[in-house]
Chains A and B, each alone.
Chain A
Amino acid sequence: MPLRMHRRVGALLLGAFLHVVAAAQGVAEAAPLAVTEVAPGVYMHAGLVEDWLPSNAGDIANLGFVIGSRCVAVIDTGGTPQLGQRWRAAIERTTRLPICFVIDTHAHPDHVLGNAAFAGPDTRFVASAKFNAALAARERYFLNSLARDFGVSVAHGAVVYPTLAVEGTRELDLGDRVLVLKAWPTAHTDNDLTVYDRRTRTLFASDLLFTQHIPVVDGNLRGWLAVMQDLAAIDATRVIPGHGPISNDWPAALKPQQEYLETLRRETRAAIKAGKTLPQAVDSVGMAAASDWQLTDRFHRRNVTAAFAELEWED
C-alpha cells in the first residue's frame, strides 16, 4: 500500500513536471490530432483554413496516412515539430504497424516542419527530386519564422531531409497496398508530389488542389493550369486537397480553382497590355474572382504579383 501510494505521488509529480516543461516551452497540449477514416485504411486530418500562425499552432494543412498489411505511409507532417508529435500520436493510436514512409508533398513549412517527429532508422522520407534544393534554400527562413513567430527554436541540423527522391512516378508497397507517387512539373511549387491509393482510388492532391482556401501561386501559373489538365484525367473517387474540404466529385472539384487561376491569368495579361504597373495591377486584377475564396486578403495580391512577374515577358 505505501509503495503504491509513493508511485502514485511520483506519477502525479512527474505529470506536473512535464506539464510545466510543456508550458515553459510554449508547447500546446500533446493531444493527438483529430483523424477521419475517409476510405478503408485511408485517413486524414483536416487542417484549419487559416494562415500558418501561432494562434492555430501551425495546424493548417490537410495531413494523411494510409495503412497497408505491413506498414504505414504518412503524407505530410504538419507545420511545427510539436504538431508533428501530435500527428504521430494520432497515427499510433490508430495502428500499431510501423511507419515505413513519410511522404513530403512539397517544401512548404505548414506541410513538412513536423518531419522531425517521425525520424527513425526504419522510416524513409520521400519527396520530389526537387524537394531538397527547395527546402535547403528556404530552411533558414522557415526556422526564423518558427523562432520569431511561434517561439519554437529548432537547430538547423534538426530539419529532416528526404532521402528517397521521386522523378516521374514511383510506387511504394505498404503490403497488399501500393501507393503511386507522382512528381509534377512546376505548378503550385517546383516540387509538387501527389499520392494515389489504387485500392480505394483516393488521390492526395496536396497543394495542387485548393478548396475554400484561395489557391497560392509559388511556382508557375501557366504550368499549374497545364498540370491541372493532367490531374483531371486521374481516375479518383475522392480527392484530398492540401487545404480545404475533401471532395468526392472529381474532376469537378478542380473547377473553382481553374476558374480563379484562369481569371488571374486573363486579367493580369490585360493589365500588362494596358500598361499598368505591378502595384496598379495588384490593386485591380481578379478582385471579383478572388472574393469567392477564404484568405483572399492574405494571398490574392501575392498571386497577382507572381502572375505579373511571370506574364510580363510573354510575347
Chain B
Amino acid sequence: MNHDIDRRKLMVTGTALVTATLWGTPRSAVAEIKSGENPEASAIWQKVRASLFENRPIANAGDDMLALDAPSRAEDAAVVPIAMRARLPHTAASHVAKLYLVIDSNPSPISAIFSFTPQSGRADIETRVRVDEYSFVRAIAETNDGRLLMRTRFVKASGGCSAPPGKDPQAALAALGKIRLRVDGDVVLHKPTLVQLMISHPNDSGMVMDQLTRQFTPRRFVRTVNVFYAGQPVLTADLDFSISENPNLRFYFVPDAPGRLTAEVVDSHQAAWKSSLDVTPTAA
C-alpha cells in the first residue's frame, strides 16, 4: 500500500512540469457535458448571446426558414463539415444579412460571422470547423430588418482544436496563402452561382505543441475574407481559429453581367492574399 502511494507521488512530480503549461487555462464545466439537453442553459451561450445580441428576441427557426447541417457525431473533430442555409426569400428589400456560427465549447465560441448582400443571391454557406469538446453548435440568422432566428445542434466531438496539422509544417508554410477559387456548375445570368474558395493556411489555433521546441505553435489564422463580383461585395467572412486548417468556403453570388470574381484574404498577422476569376454567365 505504502509502496503504491510513493509511486504515485513520484509520478506526479515527474510529469507535472511537462504538462504544467497545458493546464494554465482552467477548463469550464462544459467539458463534462454528456448529451445535448437544454441548449438555453449553456452558460457560454448566455454570455455570447449577451455580447452579440443583448436582449433582442431570438426565435427558434424551423427547416423552412434556416437549416443547419452538422453531424451528430463528428467523424474527425478537426474537420467537421457545417452548412448554414437560410431559406427565406433573398431580395434587396428582404434578406438574411448575416449568419453567425457559434460553437459553445470551443475556446473562442464565436467561430464565424458571414455577411451577405442582395448580390449574394442566397445566405448559404458551407465550411469546416474544429470542435473541441461535445458542444452545441448554433446558426443564428439576422435579417436586414433586424430579426433573429436560431437553429441548434449538438455535436459529439473532441480534440479538434489541438489536432496537429497532418502535413509537414515547412511545406504548409511554403504553401501559405495559396488560394483556389472556382465556380461550380453552369453559370447563368441572374441565377445564384456556387463558388468554392480554398485557402492554404494552417489556421493555427495556438493550442498545438510544436514537436521540436516543445512550445505552443503561435496562434495564426485567417481572420477576414472579402469576396466581390464586378466590384460589388457578395460575401464578407469574419473568421476565427475554429475554422479548420486550410479554410474552405462554399457560397453563392448572382452574376448580372460578365465580370471578375475576387477573393481577398487577410490573416491575423495582417498577411494578405488575393485571387481572381473571370466569369462569363450564359443567358437563362
Contacts and interface: CB of A to CB of B under 8 A. Distances in A.
A245 B75 CA distance: 26
Contacts of A275: 184
A136 B164 contact: no
Given A136-B18, A157-B16, A279-B69, A141 B162 contact: yes
Given A130-B211, A220-B166, A278-B128, A136 B22 contact: yes
A132 B69 CA distance: 36
B18 A132 contact: yes
Contacts of A305: 75-76, 79
B166 A219 contact: yes
B250 interface: yes
B93 to A, nearest CB: 31
Interface string A34-78: 000000000000000000000000000000000000000000000
B162 A138 contact: yes
B269 interface: no
Contacts of A186: 166
A309 B246 contact: yes
B34 A148 contact: yes
Given A137-B164, A161-B15, A313 B246 contact: yes
A75 B166 CA distance: 25
Contact of A137 (B23, B79, B162, B184): B162
A131 to B, nearest CB: 10
Given A301-B75, A302-B75, A133 B198 contact: no
Contacts of A119: 7, 10-11, 14
The size class of the interface chain A forms with chain B is 35 or more
The size class of the interface chain B forms with chain A is 35 or more
A65 B139 CA distance: 51
Interface in A99-155: 116, 119-121, 129-130, 132-134, 136-141, 144-145, 147-148, 155
Interface string A270-285: 0000010111001000
A160 B22 CA distance: 15
A159 interface: yes
B86 to A, nearest CB: 19
B278 interface: no
A13 to B, nearest CB: 16
Contact of A155 (B12, B79, B133, B245): B12
A156 B159 contact: no
B193 interface: no
Contacts of A312: 198, 246
Contacts of B27: 140
A190 interface: yes
A157 B34 contact: no
B267 to A, nearest CB: 18
Contacts of B198: 312-313
Given A116-B11, A133-B209, A309-B244, A278 B79 contact: yes
Contacts of A279: 69, 81, 83
Q: Which 7 A-B pairs have the closest CB atoms?
A: A302-B75, A141-B159, A133-B211, A157-B12, A305-B76, A137-B162, A305-B75
Given A136-B18, A306-B166, A309-B246, 8 more contacts: A134-B164, A158-B12, A159-B15, A160-B14, A220-B166, A277-B81, A278-B81, A279-B69
Interface of B: 7-8, 10-12, 14-16, 18-19, 22-23, 27, 31-32, 34, 69, 75-76, 79, 81, 83, 126, 128, 133-134, 158-159, 162-164, 166-167, 175, 184, 198, 200, 207-211, 214, 244-246, 248, 250
